[in-house]
Structures are given as structure tokens and as C-alpha cells.
Structure 1
Amino acid sequence: MKIYTLKTVQRLPISVQEAWNFLSDPANLKVITPPYMGFDIISGGDRAMYPGQIIQYIVTPVAGIKTRWVTEITHVKEGEYFVDEQRFGPYALWHHKHFIKEIENGVEMEDIVDYKLPFGFLGQVVHPFLVGPKLEEIFEFRRKKLHELFGEI
């Protein structure tokens, strides 16, 4: 069983509260997701984030294939972190931690995603040239979009 980890760190010239308000609002996921992914929230994104919140999405990650993705917000400490975990979707495991901390002149945001692909050995074979690069591309889009919206430190 191979579990992969993707970690990103980004610094923005905004307050913790501004970062929290943006990142903890599920509607903003569409803003920071590449348009070609056809990201749409079906249900569960209409309230302030809370532990136990179930959010259902439709995404089109590869080759125009629409996929339903269901995540649960499992942990929330307002202004500091939240965790979303996939309940149903394309991964065998998806555990995404979002951390926010105050730094000089802004905030530092850290994302840590631990994930496992389905299909055993076949999933491991496609990871280096399909899944891994695609996730890095998605998070790079997110980084650029957040800098566009909030500026850079």
C-alpha cells in the first residue's frame, strides 16, 4: 500500500481572519480550482464550515470524465486549521489538512494532502506521469490564483 504526500506552503499579505474567511468558505473552492476541472458544489457548501459537514462536488479531473466527490470536514479550529477527508470519490484515501498561521506581514498557509490511489499496482504505475503531476498542477493554479487575489509577500 503506497500513500503519497503533497505539501505546499504559501505566504500572503493578509490577516489570519481574511485568510480563514476565504479558505473556509466552500464556495471559494471553485475560484481556486482550474476551470477545465468543471468544479461544482452539488450540496453542503451553503453553511459556515463545521466538523461533520458533508460537501458533494462534481469534478472533471481527466479526459472530460465527470466524477462525483464527497468530502467530510472532520476537524475545524477556527483561524488555525481544518481537515477534509474524502468519503466517496476517485481516491482510495484523501486526507487534506489546511493550516493557517500569522507571520510577519501576513499569513502562511500550509496544505498537506495524504492520498492513496485505487487499483493497487496499476495506480502506482500511473502516479508519476498522471496523478502526481495533475495534483501539482492544480495546487500551482491555486497558488497563482491566491497571489492574484491577495498579492505576494
Structure 2
Amino acid sequence: MSVHCIKAVQTIPIGLEATWDFFSRPDNLQAITPAYMRFQITSKHRPERMYPGQIIEYKVRPLLGIPLYWMTEITHVVEGKLFVDEQRFGPYSLWHHQHHFREVPNGTEMTDIVHYKLPLWVLGDLAHTLFVEKQLADIFEYRRKKVAEMFGTFPPL
């Protein structure tokens, strides 16, 4: 019955305004999600920009192509600084995802912090150990690479 946490930090060589503009648009999430997940936003109401209280519905296929319904709520938005999405329905018993943005010299630092918990007590912990932890790490790594491909990277020091 463990609550798990992932933290990912990426520095992007574009300004804060452009970074925020991309990440605050829910429709852009598909571009940074692995194709095998067949991620699809299914919400009928799809404004261009996120706002507090917004409900976003998705269909994903994270395991063996089996479709899963996922609903999140954007619970907090501080323009240009952070937003939080929380699962309302879906595969986790807890999903709380913080997205932080801050200006750094010549770019933006983006930090994701996800607290999550799987259902089914011991079985959920076993599933976490067997495949969920690695799959989430792979999804964040894919996203890191895709963002670098789209926006570039800082030269090595």
C-alpha cells in the first residue's frame, strides 16, 4: 500500500513564455506521449488553454493494448509557474502530478513531481515492482527525449 513518487527535471533552451505556452495546452500532451499508448483526449469540451477545475478525459492503452479510461482535473494553475493535475477516474488510486516551470539563464527549468498509488494493496505493490515503475520511468524518459528533439538542448558544459 505504498505511495510512490517520481521527480523529473529538464532544462529547455527556450523562454518561459514559450515553454508555458506549449505545456499549458492539453492537446500538446499527445505529442510527448509514446505512440504505443495510443493516447487520445476524448473530452467533448476542449478549450485551447487549461484552467483550474478543467476536466480532461483520455483513452490510453498502457498495457497489452487494452483501452483504459482516464479522467483528470486541473486543480491549480499559476500562470507561467505551475499547474497540477489529479486523477478523478482511472488506473491509480492516487495520481497527483505537479508541473513546475521557472526561468533560468537562456531557458526554462521544468520539474515534474508525481505522487501515485496503485489499487489492490499487495497486488498493486507487486504490479508496481514488476512493470509500473519502469513503465512510468520510460514514459518520462520518452518525454524528455521528445521535448529535447522539439526544442533543443543546452550544450554540454
Per the shorter chain, which TM-score range?
over 0.9
Aligned residue pair count: 153
Counterpart residue number, 2:11:
11
Give SS of 1:97's match. strand
Counterpart residue number, 2:143:
142
Counterpart residue number, 1:24:
24
In 2, distance between residues paired with 1:53 and 1:47? 11
The Cα of 1:47 is off from its aligned counterpart by 3.2
TM-score, length-normalised on structure 2? 0.95
- Give CA deviations for 1:92-142 in whole Å, capped at 9, x if unaligned: 000000000001110100000000001111110121221000000000000
5+ residue gaps, structure 1: none
In 1, distance between residues paired with 2:20 and 2:148? 15
Amino acid corresponding to residue 152 of structure 1 in structure 2: T
User: Runs ≥4 in structure 1, deviation > 6 angstroms?
Assistant: none
Amino acid corresponding to residue 61 of structure 1 in structure 2: P
Structure 2 residue 128 is matched with structure 1 residue 127: yes
Counterpart residue number, 1:38:
38
Q: What is the Cα-based RMSD across aligned positions, in Å?
A: 0.8
Amino acid corresponding to residue 15 of structure 1 in structure 2: G
In 2, distance between residues paired with 1:46 and 1:32? 19
5+ residue gaps, structure 2: none
TM-score, length-normalised on structure 1? 0.98
Counterpart residue number, 1:68:
69
